[in-house]
């Protein structure tokens, strides 16, 4: 399910088990015949840290989603520097625009930690678009939310206040439409968040401590718990 047939992730592909199928949010929206078609094509792969799920310029093969773990979406500029667009936590599906147009990937998707990644073959993706109203609604909602996400990401890139950058990035990762598998606790380390935000681990730690002091989040072992998501969102639109 990786961009090349000889890649490690593709060699580790397998059929999903019942718990992994339960972690795919759009399956519940399908009629029985549609779900049977989808499950017949679905595969999962066990991605290790650093594994690429897809790479810039490679042809689209699957529509991907995260069952467990954490991925990052990034691109490289002409100077060879990497720009991270967003993280993809559990429940997140991505690449629907690429799958719709059957065009080469314009970004890299890479595992930040050990992850379980699901893949729906692009031909099955188009079959569901042709036959399932529920699937069409899910994809339209994804595209709408994704547009807002990338507009927000451009705003974050222009922000000079590190606390605001961290808060905005956290709010994006707790999007219940794009990432329904996250819930109230995001399993992420400060180093992983630093990779996504583009700041040092030390500076991210300071920003998280500030947010915790405001009782917006609580730092827990292995992750972050949101105590007040509306406050996290509303308090970050103005730089200090």
What are the pLDDT tens digits along the chain (240 aa)?
444 555 677 778 899 999 999 999 999 999 999 999 999 999 999 999 999 999 999 999 999 999 999 998 888 655 556 677 788 999 999 999 999 999 999 889 999 999 999 999 999 999 999 999 999 999 999 998 888 776 666 666 665 678 888 888 888 888 888 998 888 788 888 889 988 888 899 999 999 999 999 888 999 887 899 888 877 776 544 444
Distance CA 174, CA 49 (A): 22
CA pseudo-torsion sign 176, 205, 69, 4: positive
pTM, two decimals, is 0.81
- Residue 232: CA atoms inside 13 Å, Cβ hemisphere, count? 26
3-class state of residue 65 by DSSP: strand
Cα–Cα separations (whole angstroms), residue 33 to 12, 41, 127, 135, 196: 28, 13, 12, 13, 39
Query: Would you state the pLDDT for residue 156?
Result: 60
Domains and CATH numbers, the chain: 8-150 (2.60.120.10), 161-234 (1.10.10.10)
Report helix angle 122-131 to 32-41, nearest 10. Answer: 170
Cβ atoms 165, 156 nearer than 8 A? yes
- Residue 117: CA atoms inside 13 Å, Cβ hemisphere, count? 32
Residue closest to 102 by CA, chosen among 131, 122, 132 = 122
Query: Would you state the pLDDT for residue 171?
Result: 86
């Amino acid at each position: 399910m990786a961009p090349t047939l000889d890649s490690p992730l593709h060699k580790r592909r397998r059929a999903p088990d019942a718990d992994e199928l339960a972690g795919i949010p759009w399956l519940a929206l399908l009629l029985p015949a549609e779900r049977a078609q989808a499950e017949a094509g679905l595969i999962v792969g066990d991605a290790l840290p650093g594994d690429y799920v897809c790479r810039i310029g490679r042809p689209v093969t699957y529509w991907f989603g995260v069952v467990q773990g954490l991925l990052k979406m990034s691109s490289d500029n002409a100077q060879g520097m990497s720009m991270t667009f967003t993280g993809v936590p559990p429940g997140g599906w991505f690449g629907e625009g690429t799958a719709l147009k059957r065009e080469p990937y314009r970004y890299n998707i890479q595992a930040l930690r050990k992850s379980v990644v699901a893949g729906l073959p692009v031909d099955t993706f188009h079959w569901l678009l042709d036959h399932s109203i529920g699937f069409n609604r899910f994809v339209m909602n994804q595209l709408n939310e994704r547009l807002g996400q990338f507009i927000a990401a451009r705003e974050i890139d222009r922000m000079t206040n590190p606390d605001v950058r961290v808060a905005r990035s956290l709010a994006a990762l707790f999007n219940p439409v794009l990432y329904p598998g996250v819930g109230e606790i995001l399993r992420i380390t400060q180093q992983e968040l630093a990779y996504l935000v583009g700041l040092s681990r030390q500076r991210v730690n300071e920003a998280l401590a500030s947010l915790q002091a405001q009782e917006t989040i609580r730092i827990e072992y292995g992750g972050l718990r949101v105590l007040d998501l509306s406050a996290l969102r509303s308090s970050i639109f103005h730089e200090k």
